């Protein structure tokens, strides 16, 4: 199936009679990518599903106002990123829990999740990611898993390319250290 261009989606969305069709095209093109972007940040399947729904409700409500001064997918990623960070911050505040305890709880949830079907190395990588500060984890996920260019990540996060490269490099070093030093038994 031919991938529809963003310009075509936006054109269809601007017309009342093809708005629903356009949104379905947008969902088909981006929903899975956004799901995995959010999932790698919040780890819980049910929370991810809720956040994906919230993201696409915001996209629906604001797509008419989209100015096209950025790419459509970076705009959607920015919304997804902001929703995820807001969610994680609310979790920390509600539980009044230090970040390292939240990370440990997320890791425990990941191990117990029936939706996680990765091997031991993938689980170890996910646990390593949870040791990173939130911004480093976000940048690592976008660069490593989503394969976004630094310029795209910069557009999404509002961070300079140089700072992104430094954060990614530091994150990689921390992950390497964790992977080499952490003994995880199953």
pLDDT in tens, 22-33: 999 999 999 999
- Does the global pTM surpass 0.85? no
Q: Do the beta carbons of residue 51 and residue 83 sit within 8 Å?
A: yes
Q: For residue range 54-103, what is the model confidence (pLDDT) as tens digits? A: 999 999 999 998 988 889 999 999 999 999 999 988 887 877 655 555 55
Quote the percentage of the chain above a pLDDT of 90. 61
CATH number where 164 lies: 1.10.10.10
Residue 106 belongs to some domain of the structure? no
Are 150 and 93 contained in the same domain?
Answer: no
Are 166 and 85 contained in the same domain?
Answer: no
Last residue of some domain: 97, 126, 148?
97
Last residue of some domain: 33, 67, 97?
97
Residue 53 belongs to some domain of the structure? yes
Q: Alpha-carbon distance 122 to 145, whole Å?
A: 12
> pLDDT: is 2 or 112 the higher one?
2
Residue 111 belongs to some domain of the structure? no
Domain range for residue 174? 118-186
In degrees, rounded to 5, the angle at the alpha carbon of residue 168 between the alpha carbons of residues 166 and 172 is 120
Q: Alpha-carbon distance 59 to 163, whole Å?
A: 28
């Amino acid at each position: 199936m031919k991938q529809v261009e963003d310009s075509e989606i936006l054109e269809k969305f601007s017309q009342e009679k093809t708005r629903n069709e356009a949104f379905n095209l947008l969902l088909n093109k981006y929903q899975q990518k956004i799901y995995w972007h959010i999932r790698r940040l919040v780890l819980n399947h049910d929370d991810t599903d809720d956040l994906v729904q919230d993201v696409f409700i915001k996209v629906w409500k604001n797509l008419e106002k989209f100015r096209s001064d950025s790419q459509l997918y970076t705009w959607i990623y920015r919304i997804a990123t902001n929703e995820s960070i807001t969610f994680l911050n609310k979790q920390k505040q509600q539980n009044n829990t230090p970040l390292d305890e939240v990370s440990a709880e997320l890791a425990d949830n990941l191990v117990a999740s029936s939706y996680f079907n990765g091997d031991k190395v993938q689980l170890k990588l996910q646990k390593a990611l949870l040791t990173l500060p939130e911004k480093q984890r976000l940048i690592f996920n976008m660069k490593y898993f989503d394969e976004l260019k630094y310029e795209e990540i910069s557009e999404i996060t509002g961070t300079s390319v140089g700072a992104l490269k430094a954060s990614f490099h530091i994150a990689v070093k921390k992950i390497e250290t964790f992977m080499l030093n952490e003994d995880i038994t199953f």
